């Protein structure tokens, strides 16, 4: 019967049927028991039991029929909720990718080699902020080698208390002198403390947070500190964001990489300039590519860079 239908009930007929059922049951079943047939007085009916049972049975039948007519026993099950995605999209079951300190090998004797432009010579670049990125070709005027050692072997370590790693940068076939970047890496962050080399001593008022772990697309943080570059004081604000995770191709191969974008604003004597630094980080490899804008670049995506490094071997 459909929900909401009108049901006509012949109550006398229902009552008579119930009474016949009761009498048969009383004579044959457990109701044929003297405990249920007591009389209150000589002039009373033999028992109140038959009447009460009849009333109860009639009420039960009416309740069942009314509930059925209202549709309580015939409702269809609600369909299970479904997930709706845009046309062409897929629902991923893979865990979200992220970077941890263990993904950046900076142990003693680790080495990275990059195809690089000659320092100071503008490098043409073509890139986007979403990926994928193909840097299989590009400037290769020189080779940049980065060797990692611990600070115990660095003569200038006393300038950078707290640093535990030295990244030694050297350019082959170039007149540019070597430089040493003092850093640290732990489960919380990758920090930079300063640089010595190329005739410069660069010290920071406090360590800069190069990366905070775990890092995933959308991770962002702002760092502000003072930088002393050979006695010249600068106020630095670095706005960092992991903007994408996609496929990166460099001379060393094709990898899945995170793109870290850093906008650096330097203020000296009231005058400010902005630089964009893009670093592609591959889990298990570390830095696989880097693009640094020209000083005071106005656009976050540009076609001429101050530096362009592409991983050649690791």
Taking only the tens place, the pLDDT of each residue in 253-271 is 999 999 999 999 999 988 9
As a whole number, the mean pLDDT across the chain is 78
Q: Beta-carbon neighbour count of residue 170 at 10 Å?
A: 16
pLDDT in tens, 105-158: 998 889 999 999 998 899 999 999 999 999 999 999 999 999 999 998 777 899
Q: Is-contact 212 191, C-beta < 8 A?
A: no
Residue 36 confidence class, pLDDT cut points 50, 70, 90: very low
The reply to whether 107 and 165 lie within a common domain is yes
Any idea which of 25-29, 89-93, 112-116 has the lowest mean pLDDT? 89-93
Residues pairing with 180 in the sheet: 168, 196
Residue 162 and residue 58 share a domain: no
| Closest listed residue to residue 18, CA positions, set 43, 49, 51, 54 | 54
Looking at residue 96, what is its pLDDT?
84
The string of pLDDT tens digits covering residues 224-236 is 999 999 999 999 9
Residue 207 shares a structural domain with residue 256:
yes
- The total of structural domains in the chain comes to 2
Residues 173 and 258 in one domain: yes
Same domain, 254 and 306: yes
Question: Residue 259 and residue 275: Cα distance in Å, rounded?
Answer: 16
Q: In this structure, what CATH number is given to the domain that contains residue 218?
A: 2.40.360
* Inside any domain, residue 93: no
Would you tell me how many other CB atoms lie within 10 Å of the CB of residue 32? Answer: 11
- For residues 246 and 131, what is the distance between their CA atoms, to the nearest angstrom? 6
Residues 117, 246 within the same domain: yes
Range of the domain at 175: 101-313
C-alpha span between 57 and 52 (Å, rounded): 9
In a domain, 2, yes or no: no
| H or E, element range at 54 | helix 49-69
Judge whether residue 64 has pLDDT over 70.
Answer: no
Beta bridge partners of 249: 134, 254
Inside any domain, residue 222? yes
Q: Which of 99-103, 166-170, 174-178 has the lowest mean pLDDT?
A: 174-178
Residues 64 and 113 in one domain: no
Question: Is 16 contained in some domain?
Answer: yes
Look at residue 173 in the predicted model and tell me its pLDDT: 75
Where b means 16+ CB within 10 Å and e means fewer, 73-83 reads: eeeeeeeeeee
């Amino acid at each position: 019967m459909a929900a909401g239908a009108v049901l006509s009930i012949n109550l006398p007929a229902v009552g008579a049927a119930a009474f016949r059922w009761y009498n048969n049951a009383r004579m044959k079943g457990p109701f044929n028991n003297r405990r249920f047939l007591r009389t209150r007085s000589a002039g009373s009916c033999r028992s109140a039991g038959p009447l009460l049972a009849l009333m109860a049975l009639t009420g039960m039948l009416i309740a069942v029929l009314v509930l059925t007519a209202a549709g309580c026993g015939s409702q269809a099950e609600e369909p299970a909720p479904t997930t709706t995605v845009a046309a062409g999209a897929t629902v991923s079951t893979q865990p979200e990718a992220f970077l941890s300190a263990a993904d950046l090998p900076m142990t003693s004797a680790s080495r990275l080699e990059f195809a690089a432009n000659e320092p100071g010579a503008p490098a043409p670049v073509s890139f986007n902020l979403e990926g994928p990125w193909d840097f299989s070709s590009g400037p290769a005027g020189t080779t940049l080698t980065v060797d990692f050692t611990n600070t115990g072997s660095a003569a200038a370590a006393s300038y950078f208390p707290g640093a535990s790693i030295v990244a030694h940068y050297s350019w082959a076939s170039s007149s540019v002198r070597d430089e040493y970047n003092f850093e640290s890496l732990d489960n919380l962050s990758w920090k930079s403390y300063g640089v010595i080399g190329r005739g410069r001593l660069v010290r920071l008022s406090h360590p800069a947070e190069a990366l905070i772990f775990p890092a995933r697309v959308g991770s962002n943080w702002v760092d502000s500190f003072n930088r002393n570059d050979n006695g010249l004081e600068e106020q630095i604000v670095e706005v960092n964001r992991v903007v994408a995770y996609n496929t990166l191709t460099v001379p060393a191969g094709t990898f899945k990489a995170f793109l870290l974008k850093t906008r650096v604003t330097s203020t000296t004597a009231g005058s400010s300039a902005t630089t964009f630094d893009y670093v592609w980080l591959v889990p298990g490899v570390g830095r696989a590519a880097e693009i640094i804008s020209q000083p005071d670049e106005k656009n976050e995506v540009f076609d001429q860079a101050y530096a362009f490094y592409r991983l050649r071997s690791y």
